[in-house]
Structure 1
């Protein structure tokens, strides 16, 4: 019989192992067992679980024993009837995943589209990912504007949970793609510990990070943690330069033996000189494909892209003797964007580099501010019914997002641009016109939710619940109010002590601000999400695997109409694609294969089509594989080596060529390989080297009438010290 454990109020007294993740990661998991304080667990489920805010006993793991992601109930992966992947802190350090962009590129079942040097979009199962969470508090990101959220520095986070498919139970609105849940690091150590790291790599990439924490009083009931970093880098692009700096602070207070309050502040600033906006022309005027160097930068030398993000958060958690918990989480964030950008429209002559009369250069200066306020409160715990113990969660949340964007723009003639084949960005800055409003909107969501895990028999459990959402948008982009009831149901059957079968169902609800050719807003996307599969875990969840089959049915999905605009404006018109179906299979194995070998492998295949059998988002890969391994060399116990490879199938996009014809741009399949090695110099000091794109593969990161090149081969060397 398998059950689930919870921690109604216990915490680790020290976090020495949290520090061992930087600099001591190649030591066998039990080598520093003396650094872990003993822990007494109260049993209501599977063994030795920690809450989302607590450190894992073994920092060398690629897995976690339980998570609240998806249901708010603290469940093992096998108890969640949906695909959930975890990217732990150790995995991020082994692969040198520094930003959320890096993490998502390596996550199972997720594909990316890079529009230029600064803008990334991510997709799962054929649909755009617009749902993100911070410590389970849901927020929504919109696609048109980039405030640098996916460039968030991962030094502040303990791990990332990815819940694929529709997640309406916990997020309300959203696409049936995935929800990205970022779990913050907290002040937990009752002794002073710290980590210092510095790295240097390709393109003069320098990075410095400090992570310090400890008690503020003798008893350790008041604790603080400070994480700060600075990064200065160029890139493969000529003239490109970027500076990033961040500060993160958390103050934790044990108000009573059962109640803990966390107060935190998160600050991150980025300044980029000579960023690209779009990419390089795909064709010359004669229809020949261009072959620019990967170092060619299309930016003007007066361009920049600046973002500033500030977030404050508070978490109040109370544990009761009967196993119940209450959580009150709040977050307020403000993000500012200021960018002067330049892009080329048209295709230059192959010999002279001169644009045709229809071509032009476009300069845009954009300023934006986004504020987000979210509050989530819930209670969860066990209850007894018909002689069996079950779990329940019930809560309410509220979120408000305000977005305002202003712009100024100017046009350059072909004569002013000159020979684009010799472009160096040396063009005069325009006389900027007065600022104009692009959009100003406020989005509010009010929700209530309830869910339960019923233990029907020893091997059979039922997870069911629903969420009621009130959604309103007021502003220049849309004026709408929608209400929706989202049901959720899933069953899990334990076939053996290590293997379970599961199935789940939920509905889809996503309001849209896209408009058709006449200016009318498209109806909200609605639909159904089905999933079934097998899950297994071994060695107390140190090794997990999932095989899932899914089917997603959607109606009113907005699709851009190429070359068509709303009421003859500059706003791209959209159409509703009905009868959209995405179906596929995903497989993942993750964790410790042996005492010395950790591995993560995933494979994903889906097909997404509308009722006319036309492919949805054909620029996205439908098949992908991702593999990464870490191996502790037995003959040299201070050495860890590893590496990985990713592969995706060919994709295409229909666009307009130099002669105005609709043509299909194809990107062939391609692999990317990485390597890493780490050597433990002393107990406190380690050195690690990473090489990415080992074979220097030349590939595009997007498909359209312009191209963006992926990063060429690059390296980094990291020195880390723990005390």
Structure 2
């Protein structure tokens, strides 16, 4: 028995490029085992699906519950099936985010294939892929520079406003221009796409008094439904496993989509997100006691003072115009203006003097007040569609983009003894597990400017997918970027051409082999301890592998082998900060190399079983040895969702994340360098959802099921979250 699909990505009026995907015997065996009712239906052996290139999605009810999408513009901006993209692509859909309760971009990245993280304190997190820091974040394809060492709330953004999160691992110069070879994360916003009044309300309660309320409402704004509106609003309030910690967030997202003509749609949107934290930590807790022994604290210990806080606000305005031509071509023009602000008052402890093992006393500390604003204005326009050459049909994409980003930050030092960074914490037992945060504020210095810089990118880019033969396609592209920075940290101009080449060969109806190459170019917004920008990162990225697709593309698999070579990569300097502020200082490495392999299986095993399984193994080294040794070089992530065939209203699932041993070279009290290890560990989680009625569902989630104790940061110890539970109720109308 076989299940076939015909698919065209060339437009409704063009002849198109057709492919037939035949389910392999292994996949059919699994399918039949887990869904015998479908296997017995020998009459429905063929199903045709035609996808119009003018729309990025033709969603059905089935598609909305899948963990995979059938087409994407990730990687090249050409509308392709995931199998036809010559790079590793992961898509986190709405259903996956709902099942696993991935409520922030940070949650998504921590559970995505090939991504690892470093949670430096209670508020700041950084992400890595294939050994390198991930700095490429785009919103509907518009890049945002993420090199700043302050957290502007980007990864804390709530996922309720996004339709899906797309992650392309490896270099993505065609999409982002200047960027990291690690990966690129694209957040695709929700639109007002319903011509009927609909929506849902969700309320949840969980560990540490976490309360969350979200409303998502769509409605037509005129009788025909050609003008539609959507509002998504949410509020969240929570304590933490950390003593005295409290955080509340709120967000509001509104969009209006208007069909100006049958072929033209205009979308306008506004996004507001605000987060306020009381008693946040800055950095972690000391690794050593004053006698040189390794420390061990309660996970609940919060070394911050009761006067500390962290506040971020994000405001964004979007405009998006899409026109579909009758010949299969489409044009898209989108723009955004974003203002991200932050302010904080923080306490860092154990910088020069370490605590006594018996009393917990003796640690020094210093305070910092910081404030800053990042403004981003971006415009991106491109056209894509089919064309014929030498009797075959191909695809072409071409576009231009412009972005201007202004970063401005200030600090005030809270020290009474500039030499010792001492604010009289030495006689208070901050690290005796009885610390209550009761300490007087330091005397604050005058505000001084940390940075006032403008970053501009002007780009022209193009890519073409050539059908060389029925089983063979070639993607060629390039992006020309004019990059400049001007401001307090110095002036820099850099022009660069980033080439892109990829080839895909269809071995049979199910499997394809692919290979891709691109160069790397990334002017860095990291600075050394004196405040100067590091030289741009340069290098090369290679990837080859196998891809497959079953069940009309609802289930995909990728096996990738990669190699990345680059120079001048910014690496954090242990214990050093830019001009003694809270901004981490970096140095440029002489050369870094990463090579390894990745595997991902994602999508619908059957109509009832959804699964994501990802595994990564790489080796990253620079001239001094292992590169970023605090990041695991082997990890796997599994998550499943299974709707019981005999009780269709009940869905159960769960997963496990595992990583291998990591280490960090830390400075001991005697001045020597000691290597501190953290062993491998798994984190397991479970969920269950019951559909009480057509409108009402109840869901329960458990994270860190076995309550494993682990560190998310080893330069100074930061604990990961203990076991926690949540229960949510959703009402659909």
What's the offset of the Cα at 1:535? 0.4
Is 1:451 aligned with 2:455?
Answer: no
- Whether the 8 Å CA contact 1:56–1:64 is kept in 2: the answer is no
- Whether the 8 Å CA contact 1:2–1:458 is kept in 2: the answer is no
- Call closer, same or farther: CA 1:570–1:292 in 2, change over 3 Å: closer
- Whether the 8 Å CA contact 2:65–2:95 is kept in 1: the answer is yes
Q: In 2, Cα distance between the equivalents of 1:53 and 1:118?
A: 35
Deviates more, 1:116-125 or 1:587-596: 587-596
Aligned to 1:540: 552
Deviations 1:332-385 (A, max 9, x none): 000110111111023111122221xxx521111111101011100011110000
Structure 2 unmatched ranges of 5 or more? 14-33, 36-47, 416-421
Aligned to 1:24: none
Aligned to 2:88: 83
- Whether the 8 Å CA contact 1:285–1:659 is kept in 2: the answer is no
Deviations 1:39-85 (A, max 9, x none): xxxx9x96477844764542110000001111111110111101000
Q: In 2, Cα distance between the equivalents of 1:517 and 1:291?
A: 30
Q: Please give the TM-score of this superposition, normalised by the length of structure 1.
A: 0.91
Which one of 619, 628, 636 corresponds to residue 617 of structure 1? 628
Which one of 256, 264, 267 corresponds to residue 259 of structure 1? 264
Which one of 377, 383, 386 corresponds to residue 387 of structure 2? 383
Deviations 1:242-285 (A, max 9, x none): 11000000000100110000000000011111111111121211
Is 1:330 aligned with 2:330?
Answer: no
Deviations 1:422-471 (A, max 9, x none): 32100112332221111111100000001000011111000111000000
SS at match of 1:279: coil
Aligned to 1:709: 719
Is 1:642 aligned with 2:642?
Answer: no
SS at match of 2:439: coil
Which one of 631, 634, 644 corresponds to residue 633 of structure 1? 644
Aligned to 1:38: none
Q: Please give the TM-score of this superposition, normalised by the length of structure 2.
A: 0.90
Which one of 223, 226, 229 corresponds to residue 231 of structure 2? 226
Aligned to 2:19: none
Is 1:722 aligned with 2:732?
Answer: yes
What's the offset of the Cα at 1:2? 6.7
What's the offset of the Cα at 1:559? 3.1
What's the offset of the Cα at 1:513? 4.5
Is 1:353 aligned with 2:360?
Answer: yes
- Whether the 8 Å CA contact 2:150–2:583 is kept in 1: the answer is no
Is 1:419 aligned with 2:423?
Answer: no
Aligned to 2:480: 468
Q: In 1, Cα distance between the equivalents of 2:101 and 2:578?
A: 44
- Call closer, same or farther: CA 1:372–1:573 in 2, change over 3 Å: closer
Aligned to 2:311: 306
SS at match of 1:288: coil
Aligned to 2:29: none
> 1:546-625, aligned counterparts within 5 Å?
546-562=558-574, 574-611=586-623, 614-625=625-636
- Whether the 8 Å CA contact 1:52–1:183 is kept in 2: the answer is no
What's the offset of the Cα at 1:521? 5.1
SS at match of 1:540: helix
Aligned to 1:675: 686
What's the offset of the Cα at 1:657? 1.6
SS at match of 2:553: coil
Aligned to 1:268: 273
Which one of 685, 688, 691 corresponds to residue 699 of structure 2? 688
Aligned to 2:43: none
- Call closer, same or farther: CA 1:368–1:516 in 2, change over 3 Å: closer
SS at match of 1:381: strand
Q: In 1, Cα distance between the equivalents of 2:371 and 2:400?
A: 34
What's the offset of the Cα at 1:286? 1.0
- Call closer, same or farther: CA 1:681–1:569 in 2, change over 3 Å: closer
- Call closer, same or farther: CA 1:300–1:611 in 2, change over 3 Å: closer
Q: In 2, Cα distance between the equivalents of 1:119 and 1:548?
A: 31
Which one of 190, 199, 203 corresponds to residue 194 of structure 1? 199
SS at match of 1:103: helix
Q: In 2, Cα distance between the equivalents of 1:244 and 1:6?
A: 43
Q: In 2, Cα distance between the equivalents of 1:362 and 1:518?
A: 19
Q: In 2, Cα distance between the equivalents of 1:415 and 1:152?
A: 35
SS at match of 1:257: coil
Aligned to 1:502: 514
**Equivalenced residues, count:** 687
- Call closer, same or farther: CA 1:566–1:486 in 2, change over 3 Å: same
Q: In 1, Cα distance between the equivalents of 2:306 and 2:254?
A: 36
Aligned to 1:35: none
Is 1:529 aligned with 2:544?
Answer: no
Q: In 2, Cα distance between the equivalents of 1:553 and 1:70?
A: 20
